[in-house]
Amino acid sequence: MLKFIFFSVLEKKAAVSYFQTYIDYILAKYNTCFFLIINDYVCVLKLDKNMRDLFCAILFLVFITPVLGQKIETASGDISILVGEKELSLSFGYDNMNVHGYPSEATFIKDKVKIREDHNPGSGEKFKKAWFSDRETVYELLFIENFNRALPKKRKIKVSVNNTNAKYNLHIQTLWVYPGYNVGPSQPAKIELLLQLYEIEHPETIVWESKSPTRIKGTVAPYKRELRIGSAYSSLASGISFLLKKAK
């Protein structure tokens, strides 16, 4: 028998983080109970033994297959050099990034600021400020949260921006972004990137590089723009995690 029990995440702050409420993935599995994060609610599904296997198969198709399908291909080097590393430094670049439908990011920002200012004075500048601050407060945090998703416990890597304890740095250069939309009909965000791994003491030597551009699509399309784009960075982290899992 399948039963649904809902309770507000706001009442269970210790259970899930703010960002996880928008990622729509399995939080935990305990015996025959599954916890799903759906918008601002946790959905607890109680399954009998006969339904458990079927439900697991459905979850794999819905949540795991889209991530596996976003393959990150190697242009040069070998990412398996990270096997055995306990810490990894990250750096993110957004300079000269393009936005879908616009000749430049600056043109995109100018257009969106004007539209908002004409409708509601002050909202345009608020949008501009958030467009840049969301990189550090949303995209990069979601990437870090999901980096170890596919790795077994003994191979998990502590990742952080400008990690001085790490031997290697992974640079994530965003080349293009499609913000997606959610206005009834919805479309997940997409990003194109170049990934480069190098030894911090010898940054001129790239030990691994992805094919460029590598396109990644978000798995969900929430109403908030920053969470749509953030979902793409979450998918990117999961893709790298699966790549590392296969490395020997």
Summarize pLDDT for 95-149 with one digit per residue, the tens.
Answer: 999 999 999 999 999 999 999 999 999 999 999 999 999 999 999 999 999 999 8
- Output the pTM of the full model: 0.74
Q: How far is CA 34 from CA 86, 90, 211, 235, in A?
A: 31, 33, 37, 22
In this model, does residue 33 exceed pLDDT 80? no
Q: What SS3 class is residue 238?
A: helix
Beta strand 33-38 with 26-30 is antiparallel
Enclosing H/E stretch for 193 = strand 190-199
State mean pLDDT over 77-92.
Answer: 96
Give the distance from CA 27 to its chain's centroid. 15
What tokens appear for 220 in the block?
Answer: 């969900």
In this model, does residue 246 exceed pLDDT 80? yes
Find tokens 């702050």 and name the residue. 13
Residue 150 confidence (pLDDT): 83
Q: What average pLDDT does the chain have?
A: 81
Summarize pLDDT for 151-184 with one digit per residue, the tens.
Answer: 888 899 999 999 999 999 999 999 999 999 999 8
pLDDT: is 70 or 220 the higher one?
220
Q: How far is CA 63 from CA 47, 48, 60, 70, 203, in A?
A: 19, 21, 6, 12, 36
Cβ pair 145, 231 in contact under 8 A: no
Summarize pLDDT for 227-245 with one digit per residue, the tens.
Answer: 999 999 999 999 999 999 8
Residue 37 confidence (pLDDT): 41
State mean pLDDT over 86-91.
Answer: 97
Q: Amino acid identity of 102?
A: Y
Instruction: Tell me the DSSP string of 8-44.
Output: EGGG-TTTS-TGGGGT--EEEEETTEEEEEETTEEEE
Cβ pair 79, 72 in contact under 8 A: no
What tokens appear for 194 in the block?
Answer: 């170049």
Summarize pLDDT for 99-108 with one digit per residue, the tens.
Answer: 999 999 999 9
